[in-house]
């Protein structure tokens, strides 16, 4: 007896996809791996391996950003949010759009001044080598932990579709993705992302159409039934730090989350640095926001349709665990061909996200850590180190994915884990950008304090009562959507205060 993602007993699945669907999935896995290997490049330089020589057009980078941002975690879990709730998750996308605008204004101009390979080199220029190394370590921790959840998410789909256990499912995805990422570097990552994003958009649209045919009366009847059940509500204007999906949590919290994820996370910054120039980088980032808005609307529509579908059949037919609702519907209810297409689409999202994570973890390890230790290393040794770190991080993510089995919506688990470190990272970047009095020692203290604050919020299981001066104070359980805002403001404030209390020679911005 196995335990599923939500901790429910799950009998060992036998193959549920038919032979044509399995053949389609196998063909996709082979085809995308061979396609990625086409970008094998004999020019072994770090700029080629990690930034694709900065020759990628803006539209390809935009597609790659969406692929990296979406992941299989989003595809299988966001429909589950609409199935159990409403469309409130869409409020966060408003913050995503605002955050992208601020990244274009505050961070991108700094990244395109100089020959940079990672986001954390900017911190090294502004503050010094100690903080440069610390921010890189925090990124490595953040990305590895969050990516482990994402990789595990796709094992749910693979296990339900072809009957493999979690360990085998995770191994299949990691091994195939490693092959083309190792050989093709960032060029292979971006162009396979483009192909895979098109595939899962087509698959998602096919799922919407197929679901409409399954429900008597189609999508017009679905809309009427969902509206009567209050499942189509988008905006919740009540201000509350304990509720994840409100207008203010979405706009403000989503804005800060995007500033951190797209402005300080090497996973995204590496793509933006691969653009031909600053202008194309900005266009790529802003246009990706519009695609994300469309995608989330489609995923939520699927979740709403699943609610109406399972409300009209035997209640026992609905799978246990919201994250299993959509994958189970794909393999049990969709017609031949469409089911295989959807499984391939989810695998596409997983592989594109995993390849991006492995490449960004490798680039930061080599540029921000190895070259700090051995700055005179030859280009040959640098590239060899890059390939070694690519394999190393693929193995680490395999282990972390196996350890990530737990409860809750996997999309919320992944975002909350990422938000723990994002607050400290964003706070330091804002201090370096907006304050000329911030010092390296002050920023280190601020960063450690901000991370500790977010770790406390994440581990808080419920309201905490404390006595301050004889007066009882209740600290509420803060929703994950507020983590980055609180952590970044705390980091910024602590950096500013300690920089004044511990004066030292300031490092003026070199950008």
Please write the tens of the pLDDT for every residue from 206-229: 888 888 888 888 899 999 999 998
Q: Is the pLDDT of residue 423 over 50?
A: yes
pLDDT computed for residue 407 by the predictor: 47
* Residue 408 within any structural domain of the chain: no
Q: Considering the chain, what percentage of its residues have pLDDT values greater than 90? A: 22
pLDDT computed for residue 354 by the predictor: 80
- 494 by Cβ neighbours in 10 Å (0-12 / 13-18 / 19+) ranks as buried
* Residue 69 within any structural domain of the chain: yes
pLDDT computed for residue 301 by the predictor: 93
Q: What's the count of helices (H) and strands (E) in the chain, helices before strands?
A: 20, 4
pLDDT computed for residue 13 by the predictor: 35
- The C-alpha atoms of residue 498 and residue 437 are separated, in whole angstroms, by 10
* Residue 327 within any structural domain of the chain: yes
The closest of 329, 45, 307, 357 to 193, measured between CA atoms, is: 357
CATH number at residue 343: 1.20.1730.10
Distance of CA 171 to the CA centre of its chain: 20
| Contacts (Cβ under 8 Å, ≥6 apart) of 295 | 66, 70, 74, 201, 204
Q: Output the DSSP codes for 131-174.
A: HHHHHHHHHHHHHHHHHHHHHHHHHHHHHHHH---HHHHHHHHH
Give yes or no for a contact between 166 and 402, defined as CB atoms under 8 angstroms apart: yes
* Residue 434 within any structural domain of the chain: no
Give yes or no for a contact between 80 and 326, defined as CB atoms under 8 angstroms apart: yes
Q: Is the pLDDT of residue 405 over 60?
A: no
pLDDT computed for residue 7 by the predictor: 38
Q: Is the pLDDT of residue 11 over 60?
A: no
- The C-alpha atoms of residue 223 and residue 325 are separated, in whole angstroms, by 19
Number of domains in the chain: 1
The closest of 289, 291, 244, 253 to 86, measured between CA atoms, is: 244
* Residue 435 within any structural domain of the chain: no
**Mean pLDDT for the chain overall:** 81
Lowest mean pLDDT among 2-6, 25-29, 93-97, 217-221: 2-6
| Contacts (Cβ under 8 Å, ≥6 apart) of 376 | none
* pLDDT, tens digit, 9 for 90 and up, residues 436-482: 889 999 999 999 999 999 888 888 766 666 656 666 666 778 888 88
* Residue 99 within any structural domain of the chain: yes
Q: Is the pLDDT of residue 73 over 80?
A: no
CB atoms within 10 A of CB 286: 16
Instruction: Label residue 494 by pLDDT band (50, 70, 90).
Output: very high
Q: Which residue do the tokens 């159990």 mark?
A: 84
Lowest mean pLDDT among 218-227, 236-245, 283-292, 376-385: 376-385
Instruction: Label residue 15 by pLDDT band (50, 70, 90).
Output: very low
* Residue 221 within any structural domain of the chain: yes
Q: Is the pLDDT of residue 61 over 80?
A: yes
- The C-alpha atoms of residue 279 and residue 276 are separated, in whole angstroms, by 8
Distance of CA 398 to the CA centre of its chain: 16
* pLDDT, tens digit, 9 for 90 and up, residues 167-201: 777 777 788 788 878 777 788 888 888 887 888 78
Q: Output the DSSP codes for 447-461.
A: HHHHHHHHHHHHH--
Count, residues in the chain: 511
Structural domain boundaries enclosing 132:
17-403
Q: Is the pLDDT of residue 409 over 90?
A: no
Ramachandran category for residue 93: left, alpha or beta (phi over 0 → left; psi -120 to 50 → alpha): alpha
Q: Is the pLDDT of residue 12 over 50?
A: no
* Residue 150 within any structural domain of the chain: yes
Give yes or no for a contact between 421 and 451, defined as CB atoms under 8 angstroms apart: yes
- The C-alpha atoms of residue 69 and residue 38 are separated, in whole angstroms, by 24
pLDDT computed for residue 41 by the predictor: 65
- The C-alpha atoms of residue 360 and residue 367 are separated, in whole angstroms, by 10
Per-residue pLDDT, averaged over 345-349, amounts to 74
């Amino acid at each position: 007896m196995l335990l599923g993602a939500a901790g429910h007993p799950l009998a060992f699945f036998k193959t549920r996809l038919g032979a044509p669907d399995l053949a389609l999935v196998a063909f996709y896995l082979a085809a995308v791996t061979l396609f990625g290997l086409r970008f094998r490049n004999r020019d072994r330089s770090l700029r080629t391996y990690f930034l694709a020589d900065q020759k990628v057009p803006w539209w390809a980078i935009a597609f790659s950003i969406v692929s990296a941002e979406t992941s299989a975690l989003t595809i299988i879990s966001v429909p589950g949010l609409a199935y159990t709730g409403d469309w409130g998750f869409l409020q966060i996308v408003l913050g995503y759009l605002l955050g992208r605008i601020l990244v274009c204004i505050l961070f991108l101009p700094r990244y395109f001044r100089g020959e940079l390979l990672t986001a954390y080199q900017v911190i090294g220029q502004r503050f010094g080598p100690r903080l440069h190394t610390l921010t890189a370590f925090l990124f490595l921790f953040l990305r590895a932990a969050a990516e482990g959840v994402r990789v595990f998410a796709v094992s749910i789909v693979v296990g339900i579709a072809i009957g493999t256990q979690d360990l085998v499912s995770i191994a299949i995805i990691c091994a195939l993705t490693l092959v083309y990422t190792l050989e093709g570097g960032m060029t292979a990552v971006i162009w396979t992302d483009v192909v895979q994003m098109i595939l899962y958009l087509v698959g998602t649209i096919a799922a919407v159409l197929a679901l409409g045919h399954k429900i008597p009366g189609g999508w017009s009847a679905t809309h009427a039934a969902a509206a009567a059940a209050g499942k189509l509500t988008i905006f919740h204007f009540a201000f509350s730090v304990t509720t994840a999906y409100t207008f203010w949590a979405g706009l403000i919290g989503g804005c800060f989350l995007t500033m951190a994820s797209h402005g300080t996370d090497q996973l995204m910054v590496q793509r933006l640095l691969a653009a031909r120039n600053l202008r194309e980088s900005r266009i790529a980032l802003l246009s990706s926001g519009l695609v994300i808005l469309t995608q989330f609307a489609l995923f939520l529509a699927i979740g709403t349709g699943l609610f109406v579908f399972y409300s009209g059949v035997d209640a026992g037919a609905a799978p246990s665990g919201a994250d299993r609702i959509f994958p189970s519907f794909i393999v049990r209810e969709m017609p031949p061909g469409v089911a295989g297409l959807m499984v391939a689409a989810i695998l596409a999202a997983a592989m594109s996200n995993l390849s991006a994570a492995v490449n960004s973890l490798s680039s930061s390890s080599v540029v921000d850590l190895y070259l700090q230790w051995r700055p005179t290393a030859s280009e040959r040794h640098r590239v060899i180190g890059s390939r070694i770190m690519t394999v190393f991080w693929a193995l680490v993510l395999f282990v972390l994915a196996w350890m990530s089995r737990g409860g809750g919506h996997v999309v919320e688990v992944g975002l909350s884990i990422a938000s723990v470190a994002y607050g400290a990272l964003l706070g330091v970047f804002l201090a370096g950008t907006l304050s000329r009095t911030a010092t390296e020692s002050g920023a280190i203290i601020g960063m450690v304090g901000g991370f500790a604050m977010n770790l406390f919020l994440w581990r808080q299981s419920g309201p905490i009562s404390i006595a301050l001066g004889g007066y009882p104070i209740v600290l509420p359980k803060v929703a994950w959507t507020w983590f980055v805002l609180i952590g970044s403001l705390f980091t910024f404030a602590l950096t500013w205060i300690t920089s004044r209390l511990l004066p030292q020679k300031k490092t003026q911005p070199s950008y």
